[in-house]
Amino acid sequence: MPIFLDTGNISDIEKYLKMGIIRGVTTNPTILLQAGVTGGMKGIKERSVEIANLVDPYPLSVEVTTNDPKMMLEQAQEFAGWAKNINVKITIHGPKGELDNLEIVHELENKHDIRVNVTAMMSAQQCLLAAMAGATYVSLFGGRVNNMGYNSCEEIRKLRTVLDDFSLDASIIIGSTREVLNIIEWLEAGAHLVTVVPKLLEGMIVHPYSKETVQMFLDDAAKTEKA
């Protein structure tokens, strides 16, 4: 399951599903807004259900829109009820460093049997604690890690080692992908999954030398008909 598509755009999801090269979709409020979703929670539900049905049995991650503990818990249960393949995204902590979030993650996974994707993490240590809390997925923002001057591949290797050493079942998702190169290097470093925006996925497929070679084949095929 190496690639999740990071989008809320239905046509992009349909396009790459037909190719058979994605194994899930991830969203967040920013992505849904960019995809034209409006109407508050009603709009989020409608688009999420549409995507979940489209990608089934692959997973869809939908992020809560609040950092209030009670409301996070309520939203998570509501979102998970929209479709059987919806996972709920919870950030590692609040905008001011509030520490309630991992308690919510632990309760959702262990009491309510809801799969959680803990997101917005910038270090292996954050991801380790999220995995210990019971998260099914731990999302490290590799592009932002690199922007801070650290090597995201090293964080991935450290994280994969400790998860394996302590038999923690969380899958490592690397997001905030900025370059086509990131996708292969992060998977090679030990990530289970990389989230990829449609433009980068196209960049993985199309290579200028491949275009040149295909054109040569077509030109030479045409010459054989005239020979």
Catalytic site positions: 89
Q: Is the peptide bond before 198 cis (omega within 30 degrees of 0)?
A: no
d(CA 160, CA 5): 22
| Contacts of 104 by beta carbon, 8 Å cutoff, 6+ apart | 69, 72, 73, 76, 90
Please give the helix or strand (H or E) that residue 63 lies within, else none.
strand 60-63
